[in-house]
Every structure is written in C-alpha cells, then in structure tokens.
A and B are shown apart, each in its own frame.
Chain A
C-alpha cells in the first residue's frame, strides 16, 4: 500500500531522513518509532507530498510527488498538534473537510464516535488539546481512507484516552485499513502493531516485526533522593543485569528493559530504600540498545529493494 524507496530529505545541510526504503502492506499496523528529531514527522510529510524529497514514495500505486492529489485521497492524517480553523464549530469543521473530499456534508456521527457530540456546536478555539486531537481524528476517519497516518496522536491524551485510541487503531487495522503510527512511546502500540520501523538520526535502524524489538524497548525509572540512602540504591541497581544507571545531583536514573521495571521497583522496596519520588517513564525504543543487540539494519546484510 505504501512503498518508500531511497527517500532522503535535507533541510539545508541537515539530513532529516536519509535513504529510507520500506514497504508497508495493505492492512498492516506499522509503528514509526524513534526519539524526537529522528525524522518521523518528516517521513509522514513526505508521504503526504508536503515536502519535496529525493527517492520515490507511492501510496496505493499513486506517486506521492507527481500525483499527490490521488495519493492523498487515500490517506487520512492526524498531525502531532492538529490545528483546525479556530472560528468554526466542530460540525462545521467536519463539513468543511468532507466537502474538500467531494462529499456534500460531513457525518455528525463521527463526532459522537470520538466523544465530541456534546461539543458539536462549540468553536474549535474553545476545545482543549485532547478534544482538538479527537476532532482531527474524526476529520481523518470520516473519509474512511485506506491509509491512516498518525503523528504522535497520543501526545495530548491522558492514559485512558490513549488506551482507547490504540484500541481504535487496532480495530481500524483489523478492518483492513493500513495504519502508520509515528510515536516515541512504545508501550501500548507495541502490543497491537504488526510491524515497526525505527528511525535514528534520520536513518532506518530497524524494519521488521514489532515483536522483534525485544530488549531494545527500554524504560527509564527516575529516583529522586533526599540525600540519604543513595549510597545503598546505587549498588542495588547495579546488581540487575541489563540496567544502566546514571547519577546526577539529587537523582538516579535507571534504564531497564521495559518488562523489568517493576521488578526493579520491588527490589528497591524490599531493600527498605525510600526515595522521595519515583517516576516511571513510558517505554521507548533505545536506538543504542537496538544497534548493540544486533537486530538493527546496520547489523544485517542490506536487502536490495525489489524492482
């Protein structure tokens, strides 16, 4: 459904993405993973024809650069920070974007589907960040596109809404839609995605099954200390295999494979250590671990793209 071959994009002297080649099949739920600045948004914008780029991208057989209009007709897009005309009401926004896709009017049922039926008459400027995200989701979904591109859609959502969103995406993929989700967080999506493409400094370092990322999915546990007991905590954390510990004044950060974080916390509790605060970050892919694990593309023989 989406074919990306040798795609590079430079902003001045900086290569935002560099020689990316991948194929995303019909009905696949693909994750585009990487930290901020890895090139995820740039790649999505190239797929949408918003950026000029080197290489070729096609969506459903339509060239994204030369036949962008036809390619975009197959795509629904939810950007990282959706901005919609602020004076329009939710219903008017749905109508406007439906008309731009050749429909007579929008389907208000989509507002209900994303939980905005009570705000149908409210102007966009009165909506919270999460509500705007959901409105953008309704705009993207109402066209029933074959391909859905999401750029960090969970950024403005609380945990419950995030889970619900990921369930929706899974359901969309189950209905045969091709879903590409760009995110730097890998907790929920990894369980439902079928495929992962990991970007690091603009280059693809992993392209394969989402389940193949293994120990490269890391989670940071940040302990804030009150000055007492740090001496006990450091050796305790160091005993855990695969845990990297960094100490800064007042805090200790332990980076651990995602599934091991709770074991670490349990050991700290059992040892009677009482940090002032413990912050558990959401799991994300650690490019360095991925490269070290040998699962990265750099560690594998490069596949030639099929003509």
Chain B
C-alpha cells in the first residue's frame, strides 16, 4: 500500500470515526428534502418538489455552507495536529512532506465528497422517486460543482493551516475568508458597480477572484441560462463567450482556485519548519 493511500484512508477513517461526516451528510439530506417540501407548500401542493426547483433553492444554502465546512476542516486539521504533537510523529516517518499534505487533502476531500453525495444523494433519490427524473442530471452536476467548491475551500484552508501559528489563528483566518467570500464580496461588487461605475468587463474579472461567485454563475448557467437569471456579469460572459465558453472559463477558474492555494501551501510546508 503506498504511503499516500495509507494517509488518505487514515484521514477518511478519522472523519468517519469523528462522526462529523455523518453529521454533514444528515444536514445536507435534511436541507435538500426540507427545501423540496417547503417549495411545494408555497405553491399549495403537498409532496416533494422536482429536481430543478430544489436545486435552485439549494444553491444559496450550498454556496454558504460548503465553503464554511471545507475551510474549517482544512484549517484546523494540520494546525490541530501540530498543536497536539501528532504531526511530529508523522514527520518522523519515511514519507515526504508533499505526500503528507496531499494525502491529508485528498482524504479530507473524499470525506466531504462522501458526506455531500450521501446527504444530497439520499435526498435526490427520494425526490426522484416522488417527482420523476426530470432535472436529475442538473442535480448531479450541481453536486459536482458543490464538490469542486469544497475542494477549492479545502485547498485554501490547507494553505491557512500550513501558515497559521495555532489552530485558533487558523480558524480565525478561515472564518474571515468565508465571511469575505460569502458576504462582503457581493456588497463590494454592488458598490463598485453602482458608485464607481465599474463596467461589466471589470466586474467579470472581479468575479473570478471569488470562487463562491464563480460557482454561483456556473450553477445558474446549468439551471437556467437565461440572461435575467445570470445577472449582469453572467450575462456579459455568456454574450461574449457563449454558454459553453463561459462554463469552460468558470470551470477553469475554479480548478485554478483548487490548485493554486494547495500548491502555495505545499511550497510553504516544504520550505518552512513545520513544527
């Protein structure tokens, strides 16, 4: 068994043992089912709403919750192990630091992926049984975007954990980044558009700085590619690049966001004293 595989399975096992994976899975399932039920109640019907509407309702919740979970998991993992002394035991083994960091990253991502697919998957199965399979592919693609977003914020969290001096500092920075991504960024963008008169081109470039916004436009493009739904930035991109071109750009940007912080974390981990 390769060292990486041992580390990935160890990380996954720890997640299952700690029961946080189960808790997130349950939260995701309850949210998806709850939104499906509430969606139908609001139009006076009883049962489960179809995939399309449920996915749209889930979008905002998912864009807030998934980055938070991934950031916290990434930022406390390594810094917590450093504080507890477990990291020293791992560093004394015949493995290199890249294997250690990547193994932990992939293991944690697998754990989040498992929780996401178990939670949303279970809810999706029930919705499919109750309302038919229309929109099922969109729902699956939405899960894929959620997982990619989780990977991005886990990568940012991992970089924070490498640089942070303590677990608390790591958590504080992670929460600040989450707040900036989910709350502050939108407000800044609106202010820039309204007050400074920033054009759609500038706003589109700015959107690429925030993975949450990238994922939001990508998901909307998937659900309802009409220009009104996509908003000014999404509309601008689709007009300039077309639907597939915009999807490619946004997927590329998310992938870059996944790779860059992790690579930066690796460089830090390799070049600094890790203890």
A, B bound: yes
B94 vs chain A, min Cβ distance (A): 4
Given A87-B14, A99-B1, A100-B6, the answer on whether A72 and B273 have CB atoms closer than 8 Å is no
B94 touches A72 (CB 8 A): yes
Q: Nearest CB to that of A140 among chain B residues?
A: B92
Is A83 a contact of B89 with CB atoms below 8 Å? yes
Set of chain A residues within 8 Å of B7, measured between Cβ atoms: 100
A104 CA to B95 CA, complexed, in Å: 16
- Given known pairs A81-B85, A83-B86, A85-B86, the reply for A100 and B93 (CB within 8 Å) is yes
B96 neighbours in A (Cβ, 8 Å): 68-69
**Cβ of B14 and Cβ of A85 under 8 Å apart?**
yes
Q: Among the listed B1, B14, B90, B92, which residue makes an inter-chain contact with A104, where contact means beta carbons less than 8 Å apart? A: B1
Residue of chain A at shortest CB distance from B7: A100
* Interface 9-mer from A46-54, A203-211, A267-275: A46-54
B100–chain A nearest beta-carbon distance, Å? 10
Contact with A along B86-107 (1 / 0, CB 8 A): 1011111111100000000000
The docked-state distance in angstroms from the alpha carbon of A86 to that of B86 is 9
A27 on the B face (CB < 8 A): no
Query: Cβ of A45 and Cβ of B85 under 8 Å apart?
Result: no
Shortest A307–chain B CB gap in Å is: 28
Q: How far is the CB of B214 from chain A (nearest CB, A)?
A: 35
Closest to A47 in B: B92
Contacts of A33 in B (CB 8 A): none
Q: Which residue of A lies closest to B87 (CB)?
A: A83
Answer whether residue B42 sits at the interface, using C-beta atoms and an 8 A cutoff. no
Verify if B194 is at the interface (C-beta below 8 Å from A).
Answer: no
Q: Which of B3, B6, B85, B274 touches A50 (beta carbons < 8 Å)?
A: B274
CA distance A49 to B90 in the complex (A): 12
- Please tell me which one of the listed residues A49, A52, A85, A99 contacts residue B6 in the complex, with CB atoms under 8 A apart: A99
Interface of B is mostly: helix
B residues in contact with A96, CB < 8 Å:
6, 10
Interfacial chain A residues near B18, Cβ < 8 Å: 87
Whether A51 contacts B1 by the Cβ 8 Å rule is no
Which residues of chain A in 64-83 are interfacial with respect to chain B, using CB atoms and an 8 Å cutoff?
68-70, 72-73, 75, 77, 79, 81-83
CB-CB under 8 A from A101, the residues of chain B are 93-94
A136 at interface, CB cutoff 8 A: yes
- A259 vs B45: C-alpha distance when bound (angstroms): 92
B91-A50 in contact (CB<8A): yes
Structural contact, A77 and B14, CB atoms closer than 8 A: no
Q: Are B84 and A83 in contact (CB under 8 A)?
A: yes
Q: Chain B's nearest CB lies how many Å from the CB of A88?
A: 8
B88:A70 contact, CB within 8 angstroms? no
Contact indicator A50/B92 (Cβ below 8 Å):
yes
Q: How many whole Å from A63's CB to the nearest CB in chain B?
A: 14
In the bound complex, residues from chain B placing their C-beta under 8 Å from that of A68 are: 96
With contact pairs A50-B273, A50-B274, A99-B1 given, residues A83 and B94 touching in the complex (Cβ less than 8 Å): no
Q: Is the CB of B94 within 8 A of A51?
A: no
> Are the C-beta atoms of B1 and A48 separated by less than 8 Å?
no
B17 touches A87 (CB 8 A): yes
With A52-B273, A87-B18, A99-B1 in contact, is A72–B92 under 8 Å at CB? yes
User: How far, in whole Å, are A242 and B17 apart by their CA atoms in the complex?
Assistant: 59
Which residues from A are CB-within-8-Å of B89? 77, 79, 82-84, 97, 136, 139
Contact A48 B92 (CB under 8 A): yes
List B220-242 residues whose CB lies under 8 Å from chain A.
none
- Nearest A-chain residue to B273, judged by Cβ: A51
Which of chain B's residues has its CB closest to A98's CB?
B6
Selected contact of A84 from candidates B86, B272, B273, CB within 8 Å? B86
User: Any chain A CB within 8 A of the CB of B275?
Assistant: yes
By the criterion CB–CB under 8 Å, are B14 and A100 in contact? no
- Cα distance A73–B94 when bound, in Å? 5
B73 vs chain A, min Cβ distance (A): 16
Q: Is A83 touching B6 in the complex (CB atoms < 8 A)?
A: no
- The CA of A291 and the CA of B202, in the complex, are separated in Å by 71
Give the residue among B1, B85, B94, B275 with the most A Cβ atoms within 10 A.
Answer: B94
Q: Is the CB of B88 within 8 A of A100?
A: no
How many Å from the CB of B23 to the closest CB on chain A?
A: 15
On whether the beta carbons of A100 and B274 are closer than 8 Å, the reply is: no
CB distance from B108 to the nearest CB of A (A): 14
**Bound-state Cα–Cα, A68 to B274, Å:** 14
CA–CA, A100 to B4, complex, Å?
9
Instruction: Give chain A nearest CB distance to B96 CB in angstroms.
Output: 5
A52–B97 alpha-carbon span in the complex (Å): 13
Excluding A79-B88, A82-B89, A100-B94, 20 further A-B contacts by CB distance (< 8 Å) are A45-B275, A48-B91, A48-B92, A50-B88, A50-B274, A50-B275, A69-B96, A70-B94, A72-B94, A75-B92, A83-B86, A84-B89, A85-B14, A96-B6, A96-B10, A97-B89, A99-B1, A99-B6, A100-B93, A136-B89
Cβ contacts A to B, 27 pairs, < 8 Å: A45-B275, A49-B91, A50-B88, A50-B91, A50-B92, A68-B96, A69-B95, A69-B96, A70-B94, A72-B94, A72-B95, A77-B92, A82-B85, A83-B84, A83-B85, A84-B86, A84-B89, A85-B86, A87-B14, A87-B17, A97-B93, A100-B7, A101-B94, A102-B1, A102-B3, A104-B1, A136-B89
By Cβ-Cβ distance, the 3 closest A-B pairs, closest first, are A83-B85, A73-B94, A77-B92
Interface residues of B (CB under 8 A from A): 1, 3, 6-7, 10, 14, 17-18, 84-86, 88-96, 272-275
